[in-house]
Amino acid sequence: MPRERAFGRPGSGRGEGKGAYPQVRLVGLAECGTHAVVQAALGATRRAEQHLAADLVGALRAGMLCLADRGFYSFSLWDAARRTGADLLWRTKINHRLAVDERLADGSYRSKLFEIRNFKRRGAGVPVRVIEYTLTDAGRRAEERYRLLTTILDPTAAPADELAALYAQRWEFEIALDELKTHQRGPRVVLRSKQPEGVRQELYGYLCVHYAIRWLMHTVAVDHDIGPDRLSFIRTLRVARRTTVSHPGFSP
């Protein structure tokens, strides 16, 4: 099938791709405060998220603060993102080797990131500030260590404790994905098109509708001087569906 050749199938317990639907991978850039997805990249399930994320870098601008999980870090992606002028706050793996160049009063430290080729560092390195902390889950009696990288080198401009607390906002994107996949699309609903272009069209249709609903919620929030994330997406979605007066007379 064309869509299977274009996107591939994920592996399963019964063997590579057996019994699984073709799957498309989506990586997005969204606002934490509004959940509005402002840019998205689509690709085959075999294409890594880091490669798709490279297609989103062009949407970054000076004055933005971009948050990213540890799975996205690579020197090339970090370097491309910082060159846009946006500030970055990305998590990296705890075993990422980072030399301590200077300890700072807020507990963070300055270091450098290097491009690694053939197990050797290249270039003079890119300055970075590192923030490390541990979160304890009392319910599971478990601890998880965090290591954050940021382009904000001055600790007085953004203290370590403030950035550590701010990083938790990255999970707002997971909530946005849940809105799209579980509530707007519906659980266990698959994309209907058998052709790659139809799949892409349907996905962008979902994204456009989600953006429109979030725009409506933002407008209402501004009028009533409250945060957009204090409004219920599910209730707004129900209102939007009830007020739809007509439907297209053809298959999407």
Residue 50 sits in the same domain as residue 114:
no
Residue 27 within any structural domain of the chain: yes
Of 170, 204, 230, the domain-final residue: 170
Q: How many domains does the chain have?
A: 2
Residue 69 sits in the same domain as residue 102:
yes
Give the model's confidence band at 192: pLDDT under 50 very low, under 70 low, under 90 confident, else very high. confident
Asked if the model's pLDDT at residue 138 lies above 80, the reply is no
Give every CB contact of residue 229 below 8 A, 6+ residues apart in sequence: 33, 34, 35, 172
Residue 65 sits in the same domain as residue 125:
yes
Asked if the model's pLDDT at residue 16 lies above 90, the reply is no
Residue 163 sits in the same domain as residue 226:
no
pLDDT of residue 119: 78
Give the model's confidence band at 246: pLDDT under 50 very low, under 70 low, under 90 confident, else very high. low
Residue 71 sits in the same domain as residue 161:
yes
Asked if the model's pLDDT at residue 226 lies above 80, the reply is yes
Matching residue, tokens 């953004």: 158
Give the model's confidence band at 249: pLDDT under 50 very low, under 70 low, under 90 confident, else very high. low
Residue 125 within any structural domain of the chain: yes
Residue 1, domain extent:
1-59+191-244
Residue 250 within any structural domain of the chain: no
pLDDT of residue 153: 97
Give the model's confidence band at 247: pLDDT under 50 very low, under 70 low, under 90 confident, else very high. low
Task: Please report, rounded to a whole number, the percentage of residues in the chain having pLDDT higher than 90.
Answer: 70
- Which tens digit of pLDDT belongs to each residue from 59-111? 999 999 999 999 999 999 999 999 999 999 999 999 999 999 999 999 999 99
Q: What mean pLDDT, rounded, does the chain reach?
A: 90
Q: How many residues does the chain have?
A: 252
Residue 4 sits in the same domain as residue 23:
yes
Residue 23 within any structural domain of the chain: yes
Residue 77 sits in the same domain as residue 154:
yes
Residue 26 sits in the same domain as residue 77:
no
Q: What is the pTM of this model?
A: 0.87
Give the model's confidence band at 52: pLDDT under 50 very low, under 70 low, under 90 confident, else very high. very high
Residue 178 within any structural domain of the chain: no
**Which of 59-68, 113-122, 196-205, 237-246 bottoms out in mean pLDDT, i.e. has the lowest?**
237-246
Residue 176 within any structural domain of the chain: no
